[in-house]
Amino acid sequence: MTDKTSALILEHLRVLRLEMGELRADVRDMRGRLTSLEVSVANLHGDFAGQSERIDRVEGRLERVEHRLRLRDA
């Protein structure tokens, strides 16, 4: 190989190394964002479960009130 060819190959390798570093930084950033989204979704699931539990309790109380006031059909 000539010196020009070697220099050209080295230049391309430097550019590739620089771009790989940028890609790694981008992937790290995306991993952090994905983790944040996963935590948010998990929190939403917990919130929905809590709301369902509260609605179930309200339904039970409403049924007891209806029963006491005889508002329900037999």
Taking only the tens place, the pLDDT of each residue in 36-57 is 999 999 999 999 999 999 999 9
HSE-CB of 20 using CA atoms within 13 angstroms: 6
73: pLDDT strictly greater than 80: no
pLDDT at residue number 74: 52
Percentage of the chain beyond pLDDT 70 is 97
1: pLDDT strictly greater than 80: no
Count of C-beta atoms within a 10 Å radius of residue 68 = 9
Amino acid at 43: N
Q: DSSP state, 70?
A: T
Number of DSSP helices (H) and strands (E) in the chain, helices first: 1, 0
